[in-house]
Structure 1
């Protein structure tokens, strides 16, 4: 995936809270498209191997959540976390993490991830098909900057993390916003 590439058109099957529904599960299905999430906004999208996994839950997601105000100051409208997990899992993880700023996008079937060229087999961990770890700055549905962890492959014995970290994206935004020297 390179800068200047338009994101694939996909429909995501989400579950949203609906106060009109009574009982222990007050949620309804709501389909959202790529355009619903990305049109007319400058966002950070980061994708990771799985909800509730160590690196994702300890560093990457909390880092973006805690850095939200700073990213807003740098011209970012929204921050989205995507994983090849269904909406039930993503919503529970968001609740578990106490998210107030980062929004989760469930790519349950992996369609978006596959079309991004980032779907990998993680059978070596018992995960099945999952996303390779990456992040992107996306402006109105077009990739502005791309941050992919090294070693993209099926059944990777490692879980590289650093290129797609919140700190690395902040650094990129700072450098992109520096005035040119005369």
Structure 2
């Protein structure tokens, strides 16, 4: 669905590899903001309930990684995966899955997720506060297209997945491309 909502300003506390540190954990803290991630770029952002969880680890993140080059062909500069997990967990998850193309964003405190209206309780699963599953095409910090799983609810018994899948987003982008090409047909 088309939306023209500016994403909220938030600072994310990330860990980045720094070989000058040495030792078994050569990472340093780096604060990145929504402006760093979204200004002047057209990106896909997808958010999910948690690193190392079944659907997120076996389907959602791996599929976005596999289809990354297809997103690039559709004019997407980057693909971001956001979760209400800290930087240590997000880095370990990315390493465990061999993620190289999708960038992982840790929303450890859930501030971005809350400001997006997507923070939900998952106490029924022992998770605490987490993100509802959604995705967006964001163009220069403004949501261009929104893909939200149905049933947004605290302590939801199900974990819907489909609307925010990379396959669905790609199909939407391709349809938009075809519609734009048709409306700009030959002179």
Provide the TM-score with structure 1 as the length reference: 0.98
**Structure 1 position 180, deviation (Å):** 2.6
Which residue of 1 is the match for residue 98 of structure 2?
98
1:129 aligns with 2:168: no
Please give the residue correspondences for 1:1-182 in structure 2 after superposition, counting only pairs within 5 Å.
3-178=3-178, 179-180=181-182
Q: Unaligned stretches of 5+ in structure 1?
A: none
Separation of aligned partners in 2, 1:82 and 1:97: 15
**Structure 1 position 2, deviation (Å):** 6.6
Q: Unaligned stretches of 5+ in structure 2?
A: none
Provide the TM-score with structure 2 as the length reference: 0.95
Structure 1 runs (4+) greater than 2 angstroms displaced: 179-182
What is the RMSD of the two structures over their aligned residues, measured on CA atoms? Answer: 1.2
Separation of aligned partners in 2, 1:46 and 1:11: 18
Separation of aligned partners in 1, 2:182 and 2:119: 38
Aligned length: 182
Q: Tell me the secondary structure at the aligned position of residue 5 of structure 1.
A: strand
Give a deviation string over 1:34-84, Cα, whole Å, max 9, x none.
000000100000000000000000111011000011110010000000000
